[in-house]
Structure 1
Amino acid sequence: MIYKVQPPADLYINTSVQLPASKSISNRVLILNALSKNDIYFIENLSDSDDTQALQYALQSDDVDFDIGAAGTSMRFLTAYLSQRKGNWSITGTERMKNRPIWILTDALCQLGAEISFLEKKGFPPLYIVGKKLRGGSISLDGGISSQYISALMMIAPVLEQGLTMQLEGIIISRPYIGMTIRLMEVFGIRVEWEENIIWIRPQLYRMHSSFKVESDWSAASYWYEIIALASKDSLIELLGLEENSIQGDAQGRFLFEKLGVQTMFDVFTTLGERKEISTTLSPILPRFTGEMLSYNFVNEPDLVQTFVVSCCLLNIPFCFKGLQSLRIKETDRITALQKEMRKLGYLIRIKDCTGDTMEWKGERCKQEDNPVILTYEDHRMAMAFAPVCLKLKKISIDTPEVVSKSYPNYWRDLEQAGFIITNCN
């Protein structure tokens, strides 16, 4: 399937968007809720993304064999969770999932007493797990790996016989996601100690004392920030459900978007003194970055890289972005994907050093394709980051647009509501 996306008339946008719930929060809360064996209190506003639905099904079903599709978070969290749950389990996924390494997590779990084997290729899904009570103990992990490995281990730590002491070696990436896990574990009655590069979690009982409402997704909000940055100057977008003091790391993106000319204003609607909804209004009235090169380290917000690469190029803002080491093991190799697809639009993106940690654009251009079709590589963020390109190019085609269901199923519907024209070219 290919969608042709065209902008609203005069590039003017005035819309209100009910953003999806945070997938990152939803998936963590589902695991924590299962560990607490809670059947009294409710989780409100769960994400309707493919990833969350896959995890929710696995946790609630009586099956022992699970296919979680392309849900990377679910694969990692479920691997740790099933390792400590008595039974024999198998987990598989898409072909891309079968090529996403998981051996760092499985090795750590086996050091803690788990029994996990690889059904096809060593170090990769599908997995066979013999779940049992785990002894726990002390382990060391590279702090530069995916924070999902660290969070997966942290969440099962309280139910391990000896708890968990985790030494994180080197530079820790995606710190806000580890912080999110700690904050949510505290909601479920768990105390976590984190000092410098060491995390201690003693054996404890999970307890949920009230219902929990998942906040809206700041990662999803970033695409609307991109749209405002590229739209006409009198446009206005209202985003519903975002928390100003969010536990999501991607909330920091709003400060970087100020450099791209986007202003954020928060309002709280109340009824009889009770807070009902938060309204976040975006408007393009701030002056844009005028320096020689916009530099930023995305080590804590890697999911925003695609959005900012596309936005900066189309606004003709040279950039140097660091902290990209985790992008090659996402849904796709996002660094290579960005280079290939931006070249179709006439932009030459360079990798600055041999580590692949830094990407830059100094204004270098090449010939733009006449009718570029953006490939998504089974990556939802490629589709959502490139769709707003139509605001500058008048139209853009997106291949396999349905991948947005991984985190934001209503993305195309919300674009249409905002005045974009979406045409199925099949």
Structure 2
Amino acid sequence: MNSVILHPQSSIQGEVTHLPSSKSISNRVLVLNALATKKGKLHNLSDANDTQLMQRLVFSNEEIINVEDAGTVMRFLTAYFAVSGQVKILTGTNRMKERPIGILVDSLRLLGADIEYLEKDGYPPIRIKGFQHQKTNTLQVRGDVSSQFISALMMIAPSLPQGLTIEITGHLGSKPYIDMTASLMRGFGAKVNFDGRLIQIDQQNLSVNEHTVEGDWSAASYWFGFTALCKEANLILPNMALRSLQGDRVVVDMMENLGVACEPRGNTLHLRKKDHMPSFSWDFTHCPDLAQTIAVVCAAKGIEGSFSGLESLRIKETDRIAALQNELAKINAQLIEESDHWKLIPSSHLPDSVKINTYHDHRMAMAFAPLASIMQVEIEDPSVTRKSYPKFWDDVKQLGVKLTQQ
């Protein structure tokens, strides 16, 4: 379908039955298991397209590896194949060829990997031609570009003869994802020390008996959005726990200010409405995937916002800042860049309907979907959600929102 229309639905209740397991955790344990001497059983892997790609490509015998639009897969497999001794060409969509990978490639070259760019320096596609002897066991890596570069290097470190020490320079963004990688590596038997700036990892054979993946907090955030915007809401999120490896668990604290109460009951979370604050301020440095949803909620509820830490949004599936500015304008809201933050001016008058361009970005589609609580919403290219939440529209429909395919 080219677009889907969500008809207004002010009340939503029930269990979100297809909420996926964590894509971030799934992708990491797939790489760690591939690197392990003793491989284990992985349970409850995400059904997201990114994870399906990772699962298929990590053991692929093909020379050409097409990661499509999956940035995580590109970064993790670049490091994985660099130490695997295989000759591989890694490529992807046109957008993937615009997403920088130079910092990771430079680091791998310093370690001893033979990698060349096939089109533009610093960007995919790349050819990996093997790994020489380890040239160094210490790297300096910028922390302000993508934490996935650091996670990729961390995961291959135990397979290096001398291990690896990574010194993070500059401002560190998305630290919870590095904490996640370190924790998962320890579950595979790795010795990892991380003090916030220095990561020390010994050479060691990885092994695991089994690992069960928890629910995905990024995916859960869209249901917090629906709860915030509906007049009445009572939702149940299965396979979710407040104690989580995922940094996006902080959505609970954010949405507490925006009108959502979250009550844990066993391995489920129950969401209901509450009063909201008149203004909102947050640093998204460590949770950038939540920014779009929070911006939409603030804009629609008339809440003025101050957002910082959005810099990494420019190198995601699309330039998410520009995309947000364009689409928020359609509901008469503004996202304005100030000297050290972005100011969100909410809508003073909401339209009866809106048509949202997704820019081939799964999170744009899902972040704007909760507007159906207060207006008719048409989402272009709705199939983009398969990247992280393949059955999102099934859940939306099951919970009472009428959908019309165009």
State the TM bucket, normalised to the shorter chain.
Answer: over 0.9
Question: 1:227·1:388 contact (CA, 8 Å) conserved in 2?
Answer: yes
Larger deviation, residues 91-100 vs 368-377:
368-377
Query: Could you tell me which residue of structure 1 aligns to residue 197 of structure 2?
Result: 197
Distance change in 2, residues 1:375/1:196 (3 Å): same
String of CA shifts for 1:243-287, please: whole Å, max 9, x gaps. Answer: 22000000011111000111111112xxxxxxxxx1111000x22
Unaligned runs of at least 5 residues, structure 2: none
- Assess if the C-alpha contact under 8 Å between 1:237 and 1:283 holds in 2: yes
SS of residue in 2 equivalent to 1:131: strand
Overall identity of the aligned pairs, in %: 43
Aligned: 1:373 with 2:355: yes
Q: Which residue of 2 aligns with 1:351?
A: 337
Matched, 1:3 2:1: no
- The answer to whether 1:280 aligns with 2:264 is no
- 2:334 counterpart SS class: coil
Matching of residues 271-310 of structure 1 within 5 Å:
278-284=267-273, 286-290=274-278, 293-310=279-296
Residues 311 and 363 (structure 1), Cα distance of their counterparts in 2 relative to 1, 3 Å cut: closer
Partner AA of 1:401 in structure 2: P
RMSD value over aligned CA atoms?
A: 1.5
Task: Check conservation: 2:27, 2:51, Cα contact below 8 A.
Answer: yes
**1:332 partner SS:** coil
Query: Aligned pair 1:396/2:385, yes or no?
Result: no
CA distance in 1, matches of 2:356, 2:265: 36
1:152 is paired with a residue of what secondary structure?
A: helix
Instruction: State the distance in 1 between where 2:131 and 2:240 align.
Output: 39
Please report how far the alpha carbon of residue 340 of structure 1 lies from its aligned counterpart in structure 2 after TM superposition.
0.4
CA deviation string 1:9-31 (max 9, x = no partner)? xx111110131010000000000
Mapped to 1, the partners of 2:381 and 2:306 lie a distance apart of 30
Given residue 362 of structure 2, which amino acid in structure 1 is its aligned partner? Answer: H
Aligned to 2:219: 220
Aligned residues: 403
CA distance, structure 1, for counterparts of residue 196 and residue 315 of structure 2? 26
Which residue does the alignment assign to 1:274?
Answer: none
Q: Give the secondary structure class of the aligned counterpart of 1:117.
A: strand
1:325 aligns with 2:283: no
Partner of 1:312: 298
- Equivalent residues of 1:230, 1:391 under 8 A apart: yes
Contact 1:42–1:212 under 8 Å retained in 2: yes
Q: Give, as a single letter, the amino acid of the residue that structure 2 aligns with 1:342.
A: L
Deviation at 1:368, TM superposition (A): 6.8
Further displaced range: 129-138 or 101-110: 129-138
Q: Are residues 133 and 215 of structure 1, via their aligned partners in 2, closer, same or farther at CA, if it must alter by over 3 Å?
A: farther
Maintained 8 Å contact 1:7/1:419: no
TM-score, normalising length from structure 2?
0.96
How is 1:6-25 mapped onto 2 (pairs within 5 angstroms)? 6-8=7-9, 11-18=10-17, 19-25=19-25
Q: Look up the SS of the partner of 1:282 in the other structure.
A: strand
What's the counterpart of residue 387 of structure 1? 369
Q: Is the 8 A contact 1:112 1:137 kept in 2?
A: yes
Matched, 1:137 2:137: yes
Between the aligned partners of 1:94 and 1:105, the Cα distance in structure 2 is 19
Match of 2:345 in 1: 362
Q: Distance in 1 between matches of 2:220 and 2:335?
A: 25
Unaligned regions of 5+ residues in structure 1, if any? 269-277
Q: 2:388 aligns with which of 378, 399, 407?
A: 407
SS at match of 1:180: helix
After TM superposition, where is structure 1 displaced by more than 2 Å over at least 4 residues in a row?
A: 131-134, 362-365, 367-372
Contact residue 241 and residue 268 of structure 2 kept, 8 A? no
Q: Equivalent residue for 1:67?
A: 66
> Is this contact kept in 1: 2:37–2:205, CA < 8 A?
no
- In structure 1, distance between residues paired with 2:239 and 2:392: 16
TM (normalized to structure 1)? 0.92
Q: Are the counterparts in 2 of residues 84 and 133 from structure 1 also a CA contact under 8 Å?
A: no
User: Equivalent residue for 1:273?
Assistant: none
Change in CA separation of 1:282 and 1:42 when aligned onto 2, cut-off 3 Å: same
1:196 Cα deviation (Å)? Answer: 3.6
Contact 1:188 1:207 in 2 (8 A): yes
Q: Letter of the 2:255 partner, please give it.
A: F
State the alpha-carbon separation in 1 of the partners of residues 347 and 7 from structure 2: 26
- Report the CA distance between 1:191 and its aligned residue: 1.1
Q: In structure 1, what is the equivalent of residue 170 of structure 2?
A: 170
SS of match in other structure, 1:300: coil
Counterpart-to-counterpart distance in 2, 1:49 and 1:330: 17
**What's the offset of the Cα at 1:161?**
1.7
Residue 163 of structure 1: CA displacement? 1.2
Q: Deviations over 1:4-56 (max 9, x none)?
A: 11133xx11111013101000000000000000444x3100111111111111
Q: Aligned partners of 1:346, 1:134: CA distance in 2, in Å? A: 58
CA distance in 2, matches of 1:14, 1:363: 27
CA distance in 2: counterparts of 1:305 and 1:399, whole angstroms: 20
> For 1:111-155, what per-residue CA distance to the aligned partner results, in whole angstroms no more than 9, with x for missing partners?
111111111111111110013365141111111121000000000
Quick one: distance in 1 between partners of 2:82 and 2:189?
22
Q: How many Å separate the matches in 2 of 1:132 and 1:349?
A: 46
DSSP-derived class of the 1:372 partner: strand
CA gap of 1:325–1:392, structure 2 versus 1, over 3 A, is: same
The CA distance in 1 between the partners of 2:54 and 2:81, in whole Å, is 12
**SS across alignment from 1:244:** coil
